[in-house]
């Protein structure tokens, strides 16, 4: 099994974001030293009052400190963007990382983001499908002619090709049956984001594996993103991370992702988050692996407002779990 670190780029109103960047670098170095293999970055636009750094320049900056670790977005909201722009940036990041770049992409769901780019939400899926095919051609062909429903390229090629043959792997986020089948059909892996809980993810994994078999394809791996906090004591772990996690998920509820107002924190966290001491977290990781067959845990260990020392301690304890 592999373990990756999901970098927190979201901060409460009033925080000095510039002062948080060295803390990110410190977390990256701690993760690298603890044996983590990958780094992942979230993506949204128009998040006020939550402050959020944009992922492409940040990934380029962090790559210099990553020392061979794989990096990628988790996830880039693809439909509002022109795939030529995304393909060019992905190729550059692949070069900067020596071929250790994965492009994690998804449909998105927030209307203000789509409205700002002048893209109807109803066009998400067809834009996504067309963009994926065009990007793969741009990475592999010297010159491309494409006249599609949404995008046009006339006998032109991108400025630099990716280091990795075929271009960066495409990991596709999905939270519905039709979406996981799309990930099986056109993606290299389904990038699971466990925001809805194991009860919804487990049947989707069955659909995904069935679709892989139907399409005669193999997944590069089975990654899952999980909120994870490893405290020194199981009895106090939930309280130590409760406030920052509630801030994050209350913001997501306000954006329309999921309503959690009717559930206590403990009920909401069950089968969504992995929180505890080293012993209980190790058991939960094994349970997720047994239920889903996942082999790459992408752990988010910091949220808006969590003190740096707690995040670093959690990262180091996670490294000890995966090393044991």
Kindly list the domain boundaries of the chain, sorted by start residue: 2-323
Between residues 141 and 264, the one the model is more confident about: 141
Q: How far, in Å, are 134, 166, 183, 219, 226 from residue 146 at the CA level? A: 7, 18, 23, 28, 38
pLDDT computed for residue 304 by the predictor: 83
Quick one: CATH architecture of 2-323? Alpha-Beta Barrel (3.20)
Cα dihedral angle (56, 60, 63, 68), rounded to 10 degrees?
80
What is the band of 253 on the pLDDT scale with cuts at 50, 70, 90?
Answer: confident
Determine the distance from the C-alpha atom of residue 205 to the mean position of all C-alpha atoms in its chain, rounded to a whole number: 17
What is the band of 268 on the pLDDT scale with cuts at 50, 70, 90?
Answer: confident
- Give CA–CA dist 322/206, Å, rounded: 26
Supply 218's token pair: 């193999």
Strands 51-52 and 10-11: antiparallel
Q: How many residues are present in the chain?
A: 324
DSSP summary character for residue 7: P
Q: What is the overall mean pLDDT for the chain?
A: 94
Q: Which of 89, 84, 86, 93 is nearest to 163 (CA)?
A: 93
How many CB atoms within 10 Å of residue 305? 17
Least-confidence region, from 242-251, 267-276, 283-292: 242-251
Which residue carries 């910091």 as its tokens?
A: 302
Q: How far, in Å, are 125, 130, 139, 187 from residue 179 at the CA level? A: 9, 15, 24, 11
Helical pair 55-63 and 17-33, crossing angle rounded to 10 deg: 50
| Tens-place pLDDT, residues 309-322 | 999 999 999 999 99
- Give CA–CA dist 158/13, Å, rounded: 39
Supply 291's token pair: 């239920």
| Tens-place pLDDT, residues 170-220 | 999 999 999 999 999 999 999 999 988 999 999 999 999 999 999 999 999
Q: Which of 151, 117, 120 is nearest to 133 (CA)?
A: 151
Helical pair 278-292 and 308-323, crossing angle rounded to 10 deg: 60
Answer yes or no: is pLDDT of 91 > 80.
Answer: yes
- Give CA–CA dist 40/19, Å, rounded: 20
The dihedrals phi and psi of 122, each to the nearest 5 degrees, come to -65, -15
pLDDT computed for residue 257 by the predictor: 60
pLDDT computed for residue 259 by the predictor: 54
Least-confidence region, from 125-129, 282-286, 320-324: 320-324
Mean pLDDT, range 102-131, rounded to an integer: 97
Q: How far, in Å, are 98, 99, 138, 227 from residue 141 at the CA level? A: 20, 18, 6, 39
- Write a three-state SS string for 215-265: HCCCCCCCEEEEEEEECCCHHHHHHHHHHHHHHHHHHHHHCCCCCCCCCCH
pTM, 2 dp: 0.94
| Tens-place pLDDT, residues 217-244 | 999 999 999 999 999 999 999 999 999 8
């Amino acid at each position: 099994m592999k373990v990756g670190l999901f970098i927190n780029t979201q901060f409460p109103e009033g925080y000095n974001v510039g002062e948080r960047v060295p803390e990110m670098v410190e977390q990256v170095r701690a993760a690298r030293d603890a044996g983590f293999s990958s780094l992942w970055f979230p993506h949204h636009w128009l998040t006020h009052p939550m402050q959020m750094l944009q992922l492409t320049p940040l990934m380029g900056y962090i790559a210099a400190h990553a020392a061979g670790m794989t990096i990628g977005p988790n996830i880039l909201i693809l439909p509002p963007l022109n795939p030529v722009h995304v393909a060019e940036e992905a190729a550059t990041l692949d070069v900067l990382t020596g071929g250790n770049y994965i492009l994690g992409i998804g449909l998105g769901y927030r209307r203000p983001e789509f409205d700002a780019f002048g893209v109807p939400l109803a066009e998400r899926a067809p834009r996504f499908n067309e963009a994926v095919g065009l990007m793969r051609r741009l990475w592999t062909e010297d010159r491309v002619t494409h006249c599609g429903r949404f995008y046009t390229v006339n006998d032109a090629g991108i400025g630099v090709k990716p280091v990795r043959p075929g271009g960066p792997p495409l990991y596709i986020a999905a939270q519905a049956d039709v979406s996981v089948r799309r990930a099986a059909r056109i993606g290299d892996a389904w990038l699971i984001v466990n925001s809805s809980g194991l009860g919804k993810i487990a049947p989707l994994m069955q659909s995904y594996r069935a679709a892989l078999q139907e399409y005669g394809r193999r997944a590069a791996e089975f990654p899952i993103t999980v909120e994870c906090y490893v405290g020194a004591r199981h009895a106090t772990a939930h309280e130590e991370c409760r406030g920052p996690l509630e801030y994050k998920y209350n913001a997501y509820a306000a954006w329309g992702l999921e309503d959690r107002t009717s559930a206590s924190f403990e009920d909401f966290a069950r089968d969504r988050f992995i929180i505890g001491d080293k012993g209980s977290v190790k058991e939960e990781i094994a349970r997720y692996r047994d239920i889903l067959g996942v082999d790459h845990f992408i752990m988010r260990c910091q949220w808006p407002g969590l003190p740096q020392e707690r995040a670093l301690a959690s990262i180091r304890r996670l490294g000890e779990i995966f090393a044991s």
